[in-house]
């Protein structure tokens, strides 16, 4: 956290990006900062990376919270609002996956189901609820008032790292539509559903990389910046809500 007393005075719109010290979340944070947002970075554990990135982005701060824990979710939104006094954009990017062969039903234990559901579905839903009042206030002063959920193509098509993972992302897509219907017209809620994205998480997914390079119309996996660009496009709209934007380089067409 850096100089909280200076933040409220900036007059910038404020965006909170969960899981933003690496991968897709960090790329989204960079784009938002470039566009002039004050960015609240967040992660579960990488506090040093978070502080360093906040320093680099300039108008940014870092908050730690374990989103599998309800008390931490409450603290995250409370701390964010205490820091900046406003919230205009919430990007629910933090998520967990894990590889389990779909045919190995026993390996997808109830414990794994619960932990994935807690972080990938319940946490984003609860963060929206906790941020609702601030997002409505954003709408009231002509701010963006947007939620973007980062789901996955695995939540749209029957594939992905594991059946529980794919099911949580399908649930997040449906939560996106339900919340869009419930929170409009003040708050827009959309999702970006990436296919393969080159992040540390997928560095050794050689099979998926070969698939994207040979089969997808775009002939490559996404860079984190491609996903950030899709997020910015949804933010820029004044009208699109309840949409799940598949960002898979067209692999779904093959």
User: Which parts of this chain interact with ligand NAD (CB under 6 A)?
Assistant: 19, 21-25, 43-44, 66-68, 93-97, 119, 150, 152, 194, 196-197, 199-202
Residue nearer to ligand NAD on the CB measure, 84 or 93: 93
Q: In the annotation, is 239 catalytic?
A: no
* Other CB atoms within 10 A of residue 99 CB: 10
Q: Are 221 and 202 in contact (CB under 8 A)?
A: yes
Q: Which is nearer to ligand NAD, 28 or 139 (CB)?
A: 28
Provide the Cα torsion 19, 21, 27, 28; round to 10°: 40
CB of residue 68 to ligand NAD, shortest distance in Å: 4
Residues present in the chain in total = 254
3-class SS at 243? coil
Catalytic residue among 37, 62, 165, 239: 165
* DSSP characters over 138-160: HHHTT---EEEEE--GGGTSS-S
What span, in angstroms and rounded, lies between the C-alpha atoms of 61 and 80? 9
CA distance 105 to 119: 21
> Quick one: which of 19, 76, 43 has its CA closest to 224?
19
| Min dist. Cβ of residue 81 to ligand NAD (A) | 18
SS3 193: strand
Closer by beta carbon to ligand NAD, 2 or else 68: 68
- Give me the least distance between CB of 236 and ligand NAD, in Å please: 20
Q: How far apart are CA 61 and CA 59, in angstroms?
A: 7
Confirm if 12 and 58 have CB atoms less than 8 A apart.
no
Choose between 81 and 221: whose C-beta lies nearer to ligand NAD: 221
Would you state the structure tokens that stand for residue 92, as one six-digit string? 């629910």
Q: Name the residue nearer to ligand NAD (CB basis): 187 or 197.
A: 197
Positions annotated as catalytic residues are: 165
């Amino acid at each position: 956290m850096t100089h909280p007393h200076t933040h409220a005075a900036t007059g910038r719109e404020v965006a909170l990006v969960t899981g933003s010290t690496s991968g897709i979340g960090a790329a989204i944070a960079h784009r938002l900062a470039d566009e002039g947002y004050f960015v609240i970075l967040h992660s579960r554990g990488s506090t040093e990376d978070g502080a360093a990135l906040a320093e680099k982005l300039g108008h940014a701060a870092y908050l730690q919270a374990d989103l599998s824990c309800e008390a931490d979710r409450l603290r995250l939104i409370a701390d964010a609002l205490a820091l900046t006094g406003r919230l205009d954009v919430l990007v629910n990017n933090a998520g967990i996956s894990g590889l389990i062969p779909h045919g190995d039903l026993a390996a997808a234990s109830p414990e794994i189901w619960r932990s994935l559901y807690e972080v990938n579905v319940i946490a984003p839903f609860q963060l929206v609820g906790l941020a609702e009042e601030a997002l409505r206030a954003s709408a009231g002063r002509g701010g963006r008032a947007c939620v973007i959920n980062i789901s996955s193509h695995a939540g749209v098509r029957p594939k992905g790292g594991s059946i529980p993972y794919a099911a949580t992302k399908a649930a997040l897509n449906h939560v996106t539509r339900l919340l869009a219907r419930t929170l409009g017209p003040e708050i827009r809620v959309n999702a970006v559903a990436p296919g393969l994205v080159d992040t540390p998480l997928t560095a050794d997914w050689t099979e998926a990389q070969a698939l994207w390079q040979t089969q997808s119309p775009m002939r490559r996996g996404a860079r984190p910046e491609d996903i950030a660009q899709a997020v910015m496009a949804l933010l820029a709209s004044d009208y699109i809500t309840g949409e799940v934007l598949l960002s898979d380089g067209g692999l779904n067409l093959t």
